[in-house]
């Protein structure tokens, strides 16, 4: 009896071929090794270092301007505070901030001068007694003046008599000097008595003025207070009708078209600023950048506490606007702006993006991209405006530097440029 395998082999066509048992055995034995080789290849490919994707900048020559940036505020250059010239009842001020005024024409308010107050019986008696005292003093001064006049006349007569007998040698030089000195002293005492009488007259007039009372039905003159300059009302300090004292402020006036900018600059930055430096005014509310010039750097600093609680020494820098096209006419008093003062400028310097530079210790360094590799290069840096820095040595025009390189980049790392 024949087996099934022998019958299958006899029924198969002679040209049909298939895997032999040996080949099938070899395939089963090599398949795990192929899978292992594929896994090793994948691991090696995954662990193989890949280029780090970076951004690059190009070293070039261009103008560079270093500016000091700080917040500032506008202020009217000349401000005028109108005060009460006399004491009295002031009428209500109807003007409001922003109203226009003309010099010596616009009436700001009116003041009725304060009348003399009524005195009580006790004060009247005291005033009457003061008048009587000054009258008595005047009589005494008159009598004293008369006595001094007699003494002065007698001294003058004796002096004239002494000079008359001088030629005959009847009077010595010592007696002559004594007589002349006495006559001069008596004349001086007489003049002093005359001045004392004038003082008593003034004191008597003051004492009589205390007793005077305003006549019934008499009206005091009204004092009109007019604007001293042409401009606009800035602040109304006293609006309501009230009793005013002399010198009490009423209203503040200025010209909003005549404004300047006040910036509080750190003292370490202020030492680099000089009068005449160019200034750019930004963040003032308009789309364009305004131009200005530094007019004055005040010589004294002051202490200011920052938002973080740090004490800072700051200096006030005054800036004049130079925009003649009227763009800044919308600016008013105490408006916030941002100023950028130019403290250094060069027309042609070698510059690098500031983001490509970093410090290691006291040395500035950067990564230069050469042949797909990052090369750590020391450089010497000059001035910087925050975006670009002046390169004094270490780089040349056309070098590609890495911008903000990640911590994974070291000297010799493979890098690749990001497409931008």
pLDDT in tens, 147-177: 888 888 888 888 877 777 766 666 677 777 7
Last residue of a domain, one of 236, 254, 272: 254
Same domain, 206 and 230: no
Give the residue numbers spanning the domain of 268. 67-75+256-347
Within-domain flag for 9: no
**How confident is the model at residue 307, as a pLDDT?**
85
Q: How do residues 306-351 score in pLDDT, each as one tens digit? A: 888 999 999 999 999 886 556 677 888 889 999 999 999 999 999 9
Q: Which residues pair with 319 in a beta bridge?
A: 261, 294
Report yes or no on 142 lying in a domain: yes
Residues 306 and 267 reside in one and the same domain: yes
Looking at the predicted structure, is the pLDDT value of residue 132 above 60?
yes
User: Is residue 372 located within the same domain as residue 308?
Assistant: no
Residue 137 is predicted with a pLDDT of 87
Query: Are 233 and 301 in the same domain?
Result: no
For residue 17, pLDDT over 60 is answered with no
Q: Is the pLDDT of residue 9 over 70?
A: no
Residue 203 in this model has a pLDDT that exceeds 60: yes
What is the rounded distance in angstroms from the CA atom of residue 89 to the CA atom of residue 75? 33
pLDDT at 93 exceeding the cut of 90? yes
* Closest residue by Cα to residue 270 from 98, 47, 94, 68: 68
In contact, 363 and 381? CB cutoff 8 Å:
no
Is residue 56 over pLDDT 60?
yes
Mean pLDDT, the chain, as a whole number?
A: 84
The confidence score (pLDDT) of residue 193 equals 85
Mean pLDDT of 87-94: 90
Has residue 6 got a pLDDT over 80? Answer: no
- Decide if 218 is inside a domain: no
- Tell me if 42 is assigned to some domain: no
Same domain for 247 and 299? no
User: Domain boundary at 347, 370, 387, which?
Assistant: 347
Q: Are residues 284 and 142 in the same domain?
A: no
Per-residue buried b or exposed e for 234-256, using 16+ beta carbons within 10 Å of the residue's own CB: bebebeeeeebeeeeebbbbbbb
Residues 278 and 356 grouped into a single domain: no
Q: Using the predicted structure, report yes or no on whether residue 232 has a pLDDT greater than 60.
A: yes
Average pLDDT over residues 118-131: 82
Report yes or no: 364 and 406 within 8 Å, Cβ to Cβ.
no
> What DSSP character marks residue 331?
-
- List the CATH number of the domain containing 240: 2.40.50.100
* CATH number (domain holding residue 402): 2.40.420.20
Residues 229 and 91 in one domain: yes
Q: Tell which of 314, 347, 380 closes a domain.
A: 347
Tell me the percentage of the chain whose pLDDT exceeds 70: 86
179 and 137 belong to one structural domain: yes
Note if the pTM is more than 0.85: no
Across 22-44, b (16+ Cβ under 10 Å) vs e yields eeeeeeeeeeeeeeeeeeeeeee
The answer to whether position 10 is within a domain reads: no
pLDDT tens for 31-43 read: 777 777 788 777 7
Kindly state whether residue 27 falls inside one of the protein's structural domains.
no
Query: Rounded to the nearest 5°, which phi and psi values hold at 410?
Result: -130, 175
**Residue 88 lies inside a defined structural domain of this protein:** yes
Please give the DSSP secondary-structure letter assigned to residue 16: -
299 and 369 part of one domain? no
The predicted structure's pLDDT at residue 10: 46
Q: State yes or no: pLDDT of 13 exceeds 70.
A: no
Q: How many domains does the chain have?
A: 4
Give the DSSP per-residue string, 207-272. Answer: HHHHH--PPTT--PPPEEEE-SSSEEEEEES--S-EEE-TT-EEEEEE-TTSEEEEEEEEHHHHTT
Same domain, 91 and 238: yes
More confident residue, 30 or 406: 406
**In whole angstroms, what is the distance from residue 132 CA to residue 128 CA?**
6
Which of 10-24, 181-195, 350-364 holds the top average pLDDT? 350-364
Residue 143: predicted pLDDT: 87
Residues 246-274: what's their mean pLDDT? 92
Q: Please state the separation of Cα 414 from the chain's center in Å.
A: 51
Q: Is residue 165 part of a domain?
A: yes
Domain of 327, CATH number, reads 2.40.30.170
Q: What is the mean pLDDT of residues 258-270?
A: 92
- Let me know whether 270 and 290 are in one domain: yes
Residue-wise pLDDT for 362-417, tens only, equals: 899 999 999 888 999 999 999 998 899 999 999 999 999 999 998 888 898 888 88
Number of CB atoms found within 10 A of residue 343's CB: 20
Poorest-pLDDT segment among 24-28, 65-69, 361-365, 370-374: 24-28
Rounded to whole angstroms, what are the CA distances from 25 to 16, 19, 30, 33? 20, 10, 9, 14
Rounded mean pLDDT of 121-126?
83
């Amino acid at each position: 009896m024949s087996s099934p395998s022998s019958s299958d082999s006899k029924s198969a066509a002679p040209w049909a071929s298939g895997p032999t048992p040996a080949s099938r055995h070899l395939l089963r034995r090599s398949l795990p090794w192929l899978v292992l080789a594929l896994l090793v290849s994948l691991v090696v490919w995954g662990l193989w270092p890949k280029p780090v994707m970076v951004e690059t900048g190009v070293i070039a020559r261009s103008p560079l301007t270093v500016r000091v940036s700080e917040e500032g505020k506008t202020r009217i250059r000349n401000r005028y505070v109108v005060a009460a010239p006399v004491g009295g009842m002031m009428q209500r001020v109807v003007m409001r901030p922003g109203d226009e005024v003309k010099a010596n024409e616009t009436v700001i308010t009116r003041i009725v001068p304060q009348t003399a107050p009524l005195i009580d019986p006790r004060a009247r008696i005291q005033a009457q007694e003061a008048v009587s005292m000054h009258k008595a003093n005047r009589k005494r001064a008159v009598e004293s003046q008369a006595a001094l006049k007699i003494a002065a006349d007698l001294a003058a007569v004796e002096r004239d008599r002494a000079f008359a007998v001088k030629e005959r040698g009847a009077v010595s030089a010592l007696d002559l000097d004594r007589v002349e000195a006495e006559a001069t002293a008596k004349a001086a005492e007489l003049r002093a008595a005359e001045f004392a009488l004038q003082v008593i007259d003034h004191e008597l007039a003051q004492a009589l003025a205390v007793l005077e009372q305003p006549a019934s039905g008499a009206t005091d003159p009204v004092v009109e207070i007019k604007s001293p300059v042409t401009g606009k009302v800035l602040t109304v300090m006293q609006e309501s009708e009230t009793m005013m004292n002399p010198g009490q402020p009423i209203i503040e006036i200025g010209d909003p078209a005549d404004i300047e900018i006040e910036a509080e600059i750190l003292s370490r930055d202020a030492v680099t600023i000089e009068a005449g430096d160019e200034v750019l005014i930004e963040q003032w509310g308009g789309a364009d950048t305004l131009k200005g010039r530094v007019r004055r750097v005040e010589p004294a600093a002051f202490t200011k506490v920052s938002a973080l609680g740090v004490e800072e020494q700051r200096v006030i820098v005054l800036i004049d606007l130079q925009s003649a096209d009227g763009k800044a006419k919308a600016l008013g008093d105490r408006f916030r702006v941002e100023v950028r003062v130019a403290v250094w400028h060069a027309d042609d310097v070698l510059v690098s993006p500031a983001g490509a530079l970093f410090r290691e210790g006291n040395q500035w360094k950067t990564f230069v991209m050469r042949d797909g590799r990052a090369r750590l290069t020391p450089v010497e840096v000059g001035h910087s405006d925050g975006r670009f820095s002046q390169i004094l040595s270490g780089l040349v025009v056309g070098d590609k530097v890495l911008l903000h390189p990640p911590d994974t980049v070291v000297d010799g790392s493979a890098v690749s440029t990001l497409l931008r």
